[in-house]
């Protein structure tokens, strides 16, 4: 397996145990960590600020002995790196240029030393007195220094390092804490990864703030941010350093170190470069021009072949983490509720119809509608819940539909579609024993006609129940269950529908009887119930048997729309996310079906009714997804053949 083939780059941040002013000891430990990273196929490794000497040397930085020893250690590492051609290493040291001393980052690879980036913003406050020793590198550009017989460029003006897989830039510690960090300019100039060599001491509450700063900057820059800070071994005369290391990607934390560890810390992860590039592609502010120039440096690095990946892929990307359930699911529910409430206020409508089947989608839509009516101070009796039993309705779903409506205090109405559809079959000359698409769709369209016409009768609005997963697959009858006057679930995928209903049952429902109804609905197999039930009276038509697991399709949908992933990337990531649950053959089978249906069914999405957007992925033809109905899927399906 070659992670680079799938758009990933392996990076690491390290905080080695050091001894203050003992460059030999520090270099030996740095080499040991480099060897460890090499065994794990790391491609770019970042160490902390001034790691060759340690950060807390104080006035020893003025000593020529320490300055020279730091340069000797750098030379040792340069020669050592010639044995590690597949790895780029970034280390920190003090560097004297003419009559000034600079706090710099040196970039090393098998080619030798590639470039030097000086620190721009030098702190001078109650904790850090760096201006006593170091000069800001903000005016250094178009400069080179001789190291090991090589003219090495030195610049703080947007120096970008180019590898075959990604471009990266460097800033040092305090640079991140400024109103306009250098990394902002580096990202605009094309850097997809930002490395920060830091020495940030610990204070009560500081780690939380520092972490939020890194997360926010990676999000603002649409970049990966790799942060390595000084730790064990620094002087504790006045401050303590914890060895805090973080690797973030576009606002998400991928890896963090154990703080206050007495051993060297090394964290490793794989950065999704393709995903970062996709976000930048959609953001036209990432242009080729920028407020200041860049120095481009090419870095040689071998391909990495690895039998594992240092990254986990969330198999359920639409479902928030358990710890965030209450906040995130409340937001989704409130967006749905307020969207419907606004539509009712705008139209002056105070009554609605909604088809209640005893399934998850109509259950969530009804819960949203009840909340909207409560919000507007409208009586729940104005919600006309209509259950419409047909040829495939089972006792379980019918019973749950009626019980749910009664428990919520809405108006319950039952209208059987059997006679109307049977008459329709006679009108069009269809054999009712022929259970084809006509048999199924006639039922769905009859139900929609009832809901629309009854809404007209009461002066109301027909609330739609269909979810985004069904829209992606086209698993809805055109001008049937895919049509309404306002669709509250239109951007809620099936996996999130289930999560929302369970959360409402467990966290927002007081009555035990209502909770039992909701849990039984959750346990009911997904089905349109358009075919007659089996001899045992149970559902005979289970949706996932025909179209595949919704959790797979939601994963495919998220990767395709959110990140623009190719079929091969989706297949690779799905294989990792669902390892042990679905075989590679199953994933390929359902991914092929996903593409075929997604492309063939766009015409159903092109005429969607209004509905609120709740997340980063949406299929509205007026918003996030504008696709011609006649596009061919050949390029996508052929890649999977």
Q: What is the pLDDT of residues 337-358, one digit of tens each?
A: 999 999 999 999 999 999 999 9
Helices (H), 11-60: 23-39
Question: Is 100 within the bounds of a domain?
Answer: yes
pLDDT reported for residue 487: 97
pLDDT reported for residue 294: 53
Structure tokens that stand for 138 in this block? 């903000």
pLDDT reported for residue 126: 67
Tell me the CATH number at 446: 3.40.50.620
Residue 95 CA to residue 117 CA, distance in Å, equals 11
Instruction: Name 483's Cβ contacts closer than 8 Å, sequence gap at least 6.
Output: 448, 464, 609
Domains in the chain, number:
2
pLDDT reported for residue 539: 63
pLDDT reported for residue 628: 96
Residues 294 and 326 in one domain: no
Q: Which residue range(s) make up the domain with 444?
A: 322-640
Residues 145 and 285 in one domain: yes
Question: Is 310 within the bounds of a domain?
Answer: no
pLDDT reported for residue 573: 97
Residues 292 and 393 in one domain: no
* CA neighbor of 338 nearest in space, from 611, 619, 608, 624: 611
Residues 492 and 593 in one domain: yes
pLDDT reported for residue 496: 97
pLDDT reported for residue 4: 87
Residues 455 and 381 in one domain: yes
3-state helix vs strand vs coil in the chain, percent to 5:
40, 20, 40
Write the DSSP string, 581-638.
TS-HHHHHHHHHHHHHHHHHTHHHHTTPPP----SS----TTTT----TT---HHHHH
Tell me the CATH number at 262: 3.60.110.10
Helix (H) or strand (E) holding 113: strand 112-118
Residues 70 and 157 in one domain: yes
Question: Is 53 within the bounds of a domain?
Answer: yes
Residue 225 CA to residue 192 CA, distance in Å, equals 9
- Which residues does the chain have with pLDDT short of 50? 290-293
Question: Is 130 within the bounds of a domain?
Answer: yes
Residue 639 CA to residue 641 CA, distance in Å, equals 6
Active site residues: 49, 119, 173
Residues 287 and 428 in one domain: no
Helix (H) or strand (E) holding 112: strand 112-118
pLDDT reported for residue 292: 45
pLDDT reported for residue 288: 57
> Quick check: pTM over 0.85?
yes
Residues 205 and 327 in one domain: no
């Amino acid at each position: 397996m070659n992670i680079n083939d799938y758009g990933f780059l392996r990076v690491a941040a390290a905080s080695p145990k050091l001894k203050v002013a003992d460059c030999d000891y520090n270099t030996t430990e740095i080499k040991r960590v480099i060897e460890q990273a090499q065994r794990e196929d790391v491609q770019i490794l970042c160490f902390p600020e001034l790691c060759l000497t340690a950060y807390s040397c104080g006035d020893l930085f003025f000593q020529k002995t320490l300055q020279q020893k730091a340069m000797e250690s750098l030379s040792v590492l340069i020669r050592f790196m010639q044995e590690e051609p597949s790895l780029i290493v970034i280390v920190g040291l003090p560097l004297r240029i003419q009559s000034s001393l600079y706090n710099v980052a040196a970039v090393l690879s098998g080619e030798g030393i590639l470039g030097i980036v000086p620190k721009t913003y030098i702190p001078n406050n109650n904790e850090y007195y760096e201006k006593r020793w170091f000069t800001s590198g903000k005016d250094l550009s178009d400069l080179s220094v001789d190291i090991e017989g090589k003219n090495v460029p030195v610049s703080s003006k947007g120096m970008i390092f180019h590898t075959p897989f990604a471009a990266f830039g460097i800033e040092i510690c305090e640079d991140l804490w400024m109103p306009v960090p250098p990394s902002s300019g580096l990202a605009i100039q094309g850097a997809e990864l930002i490395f920060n060599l830091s020495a940030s001491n610990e204070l009560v509450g500081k780690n939380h703030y520092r972490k939020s700063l890194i997360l926010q900057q990676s999000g603002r820059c649409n970049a990966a941010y790799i942060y390595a800070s000084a730790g064990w071994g620094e002087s504790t005369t006045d401050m303590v350093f914890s060895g805090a290391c973080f690797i973030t990607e576009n606002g998400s934390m991928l890896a963090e170190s154990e703080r206050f560890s007495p051993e060297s810390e090394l964290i490793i992860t794989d950065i999704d470069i393709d995903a970062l590039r996709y976000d930048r592609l959609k953001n036209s502010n990432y242009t080729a021009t920028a407020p200041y120039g860049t120095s481009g440096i090419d870095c040689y690095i071998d391909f990495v072949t690895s039998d594992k990946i240092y990254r986990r892929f969330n198999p359920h990307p639409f479902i928030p983490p358990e710890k965030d359930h209450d906040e995130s699911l409340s937001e989704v529910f409130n967006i749905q509720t307020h969207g419907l409430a606004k539509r009712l206020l705008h139209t002056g409508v105070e009554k609605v119809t909604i088809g209640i089947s005893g399934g998850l989608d109509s259950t969530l839509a009804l819960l949203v509608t009840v909340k909207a009516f409560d919000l507007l101070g409208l009586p729940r009796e104005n919600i006309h819940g209509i259950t419409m039993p047909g040829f495939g309705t089972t006792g379980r779903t019918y019973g749950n539909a009626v019980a749910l409506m009664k428990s919520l205090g809405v108006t319950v109405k039952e209208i059987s579609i059997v006679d109307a559809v049977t008459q329709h079959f006679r009108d069009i000359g269809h054999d009712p024993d022929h259970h084809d698409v006509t048999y199924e769709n006639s039922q769905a369209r009859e139900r929609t006609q009832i809901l629309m016409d009854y809404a007209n009768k009461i002066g109301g609005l027909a609330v739609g129940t269909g979810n985004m997963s069904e829209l992606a697959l086209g698993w809805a009858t055109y001008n049937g269950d895919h049509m309404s006057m306002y669709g509250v679930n239109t951007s809620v995928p099936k996996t999130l529908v289930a999560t929302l209903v369970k959360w409402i049952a467990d966290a927002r429902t007081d009555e035990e009887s209502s909770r039992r109804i909701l849990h039984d609905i959750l346990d009911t197999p997904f089905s349109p119930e358009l075919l007659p039930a089996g001899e045992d009276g149970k559902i005979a038509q289970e949706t996932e048997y025909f179209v595949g697991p919704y959790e797979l399709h939601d994963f495919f949908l998220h990767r395709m729309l959110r990140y623009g992933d190719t079929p091969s990337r989706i297949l690779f990531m799905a294989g990792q996310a669902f390892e042990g649950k679905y075989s590679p053959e199953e994933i390929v089978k359902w991914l092929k079906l996903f593409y075929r249906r997604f492309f063939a069914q766009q015409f159903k999405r092109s005429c969607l009714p209004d509905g609120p957007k709740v997340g980063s992925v949406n299929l509205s033809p007026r918003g996030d997804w504008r696709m011609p109905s006649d596009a061919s899927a050949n390029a996508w399906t052929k890649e999977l053949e």
